[in-house]
Each structure stands twice: as C-alpha cells, then as structure tokens.
Amino acid sequence: MTETWQQLDVLFSGQPGDNNYYYKTNNKQEIIQDVNGNSWKKVSYGATSLADALQGTYTNAETGYGNQNLPNHSGYTPYLSFVVVANDPTYEAEAAALLNELTAAIKQNPYEIPAYTLTVPLNVTFNVGYKKNSTPVTPVQDTTVSYVFYDETDNKIVAGGSSVTGQPGTTQSVALTIPTGYKLAAGQTLPTRVVMPNADETITIYLVHEMKTVTPGEPGITPESPAYKDLFHTVTRTIIVNNPVNGQAETTTQTVVFGRTGTYDEVAKKFTSFGGWKVYINNALTNETTGVWAKYDTPEFNGYTPSQAKVNSEDVTAETPDQTVIINYTKTSNGDKGNTPNGGDQGKTNPSDHNNNTNPGNNGNHDNNNNGNGTNGDNNQPADNGNHNGSHDNNNNGINNGNQNGNGNNGLNTNATNNGKGENGQNNKQALPQTGNNTENNAAIAGLGLVSLMAMLGLGGLKKKNN
C-alpha cells in the first residue's frame, strides 16, 4: 500500500511586494497493490474549481511556517499555470501519459483542477500563478446551449429537443434522441458533446419525415387488413341464375384482385403516393395490369330455354366497373298439345275408328263389328281395358260374354264396366255423360237408345216365333 497525493504550489513571483512561495497538500489517497504484486487498484481524484481548492491554510516554503493564509493581491486572478507528475522510474510511461492529459485539461480551462484516475503510484502538483486583471473581475456564470428539432416537411418545431448548461469553455455531454417517425435532414448530425460558449446559444437540428415503401404480399400486407385497404382493389362480376325448377336465385361471383405499392409517411401515418395497379394473385403482386373473368357456361334445365347459353370471358383492368349478369329461363313448347300426364294413347282421336271417341282412357284395340241395325253414334264408354274378340248386336244386357272383334259400325255402347275379356262381366250401372257435353248431344243419345231398344224387342219376338 502506497500513499498518493495532490499538491498545490502557489507562486507569487513577479508580483509587487511579494516573492513568496506557498504550498499545501490538497488531497491524498492510498493506492493498494493486488496480491499478485503486478497491478494496483485504481484511485480517482474528482474535479474541483480552483477558487474552492485555494481555500484553507498553506506552508510558506521560504520560512517553513505552516498554517499560513495566502496573501490577497487585489487586481490579480489566480490560474493553473502548469502541472508536475512525480513518479518512480518504474512508472515513467504512466506518468508521461497522465502529464499530457492534465496539461491539455488545464490549458482548456485554467480555472478548474481536472479529474483524473491513477492506476499506479503517482503524485501530482498543480502550480498556481497570478495574472494581473485587465478588466475588473466578474463572476463566471454558467451558459446554456439549447437544441431544437425542426420539421422541414411540415415547417414546424417538433417536440423532443434538449438543453445543456455549464461553465464557459467546459465540455459537456449532449443526450439527444430523434423523434419517432423522423430522420436527420441532409447534412445534419446529432451532437454528443459540446464546448460551452461564453453566452447562451440555440442550435436547430433539421429533420424530415421517414418514408417507407409498402408492397402487397409482404408479411401482414393483405386485402383483409383495413390498414392497407388503399393498396387493393377488387373488380367483380356477379352472375345470377334464376333457377326455373326451384325458383331460387343462384349466384356465382367472379373476382380479379389488383394491388399497388404505396409510400407511407411514418409521421402522418398515411399513404402519400401510390404505384400503378397490378394483378394480385397467390398473395403476391405480379407485373400484369390485366386480369380475366373466366367464361361461364349457363346450366341447363330440361324443358326450359335460358336467356343466354353462356357468359363470355372478359379481360379486366382496375378501371373496369363491376358487372351483374342475370340469366332467366322460358318454358319450352313440346309440340304435342294432346298428350296427358299419363302418356300412352289417352286423349288421342283416331278418325278411322270412331267419329267421336270421348273415352278418358283406352289402352287396348277396339275393332268392333256390330251386326245390328244401329248406327255409328257417340261412344261414351268411360274405360275399356280389354281386347274385344267377337261380335255383338247392341248388347245392352249388362253382361259381355265374348270377345269383340270385327269391322263394322258401332252402335250405342252404354257398358259402364268391361272386366277382362268380357266373361262374367256384370254391368252394375249406366255410363255417365262426359263433362262439357251440351244438351243437344244428350237428346240425340236418348233418341238413338230408344231406337235400339225397339229393334232388340222386335228381334226377340221374331226369334221366339221362329223357335
């Protein structure tokens, strides 16, 4: 362990009536060597203004008397004139480095004992001289340097500036941070240290807005994000098919998405300019300026004709307006107005067989050979589902005992029911007239029925007589 000290030597040489030399130990600290003997633990001496350091009592070097006050010489100002570093020859390099450091410090500010750190045992002596004042001495006051941020884009002062205060000539640290969204304008720098001037100063630092180019397809830059809605545009074709079967409107939507780059102002929080529209597909911006609505084939429904068979493909750009296409259907005529829902031969009239066939359903062949005296009149038989092989003479007995097959004229057939081939078929009731027949037809039928009855009675009587 070794003691280090800081000494002041005050010289009044050359001043009127005083050639004395005074000294005092201003400060001292012990420096301790590490256990390995190769290094020392650091000790530091803080900065002190010379005015404060000169306080206290001194030893007069000429007389050897201690506890002496410094004489007062009006019109003279003390200052640090030079510094001496005493050292052991082992530490010459360290002593030389410290001497250079302290000499530069007192040259910059001769009114302050600078701070320093010892890494080896060294002793420092600051020599104090006096110089005659050319003007009355005034107290040295601190000065202030203020830093102001100015927005060149919007021409206004921006919050976030700072200020530094210190003694004139001293070096002070400056802590500044560029406000969010800004960057330094061309030629501007952000200071970290300043030498305090003799008077207050204001320094303006110019800023501009930070601009960022945003491209669709980058992470998070999608059409679904509201923040980037200005970077996307969708052109839509809507095809509405009015289904004639279920009565529902079936919609198909065809879209082409366009995207564009944008320049984003980080201060204003908005896009200030945009690039041209390009087709956006598979989460990426292409170089194509034209997209396509695909061809659409109109669905077919049996028995109906669409208003158009297809919707053609179409090239679209970002300027293409949205479109709506509506497809309707009309019922198609089949050309066979006599067909009924049950099909077959129902409802068809064959002029070669009968003059008036009003049977609601006739699913067999009727080649009737009537050998009586009746005429070909109206056939009001509601349903005849069998084959008629045989002949009959105006059989109105309610029982058909044979097959009817032959060519001739049909008389009035009023059988209500014909079961199978006519065997054991019992007619239980008379046939009803067809809906829509007029009164004159009914009267004619009644007359023909009476004539047939009289003829049958006559034939019956003749057969009995013959027998």
Asked if 194 contacts 186 with a C-beta cutoff of 8 angstroms, the reply is: no
Residue 137: predicted pLDDT: 53
Q: d(Cα 354, Cα 409) in Å, to the nearest integer? A: 9
Residue 10: predicted pLDDT: 77
Name residue 270's beta-bridge partners: 265
Residue 12: predicted pLDDT: 66
Note the residue count of the chain.
467
Helices (H) and strands (E) in the chain, counts: 3, 31
| Range with lowest mean pLDDT among 16-30, 111-125, 170-184 | 16-30
pTM of whole model > 0.75? no
Residue 399: predicted pLDDT: 37
Tens of pLDDT, residues 261-284: 999 999 999 999 999 999 999 999
Radius of gyration of the chain (CA): 64
Q: d(Cα 357, Cα 166) in Å, to the nearest integer? A: 129
pLDDT over 90 (residue 18): no
Q: d(Cα 31, Cα 118) in Å, to the nearest integer? A: 8
Asked if 19 contacts 13 with a C-beta cutoff of 8 angstroms, the reply is: yes
What share of the chain has pLDDT > 90, as a percent? 47
Q: Is 128 exposed, middle or buried (0-12, 13-18, 19+ CB in 10 A)?
A: buried
Band (pLDDT 50/70/90 cuts) for residue 90 is confident
Per-range mean pLDDT, top range of 32-46, 307-321, 450-464: 307-321
DSSP 379: B
Residue 434: predicted pLDDT: 35
Q: d(Cα 50, Cα 110) in Å, to the nearest integer? A: 8
Q: Residue 17: count other Cβ atoms within 10 Å of its Cβ.
A: 8
Q: Which helix (H) or strand (E) holds 457?
A: helix 439-466
Give 164's Cβ-side CA count (13 Å radius). 21
Q: Which residue has the higher pLDDT, 260 or 388?
A: 260
Q: Give CA separation, 417 vs 141, 197, 283, 382, 426, in Å.
A: 138, 133, 79, 8, 8
What mean pLDDT value characterizes the chain? 75
Question: Stretch 19-34: mean pLDDT, rounded?
Answer: 79
Q: Which residue has the higher pLDDT, 231 or 17?
A: 231
Residue 420: predicted pLDDT: 37
| Range with lowest mean pLDDT among 58-62, 209-213, 370-374 | 370-374
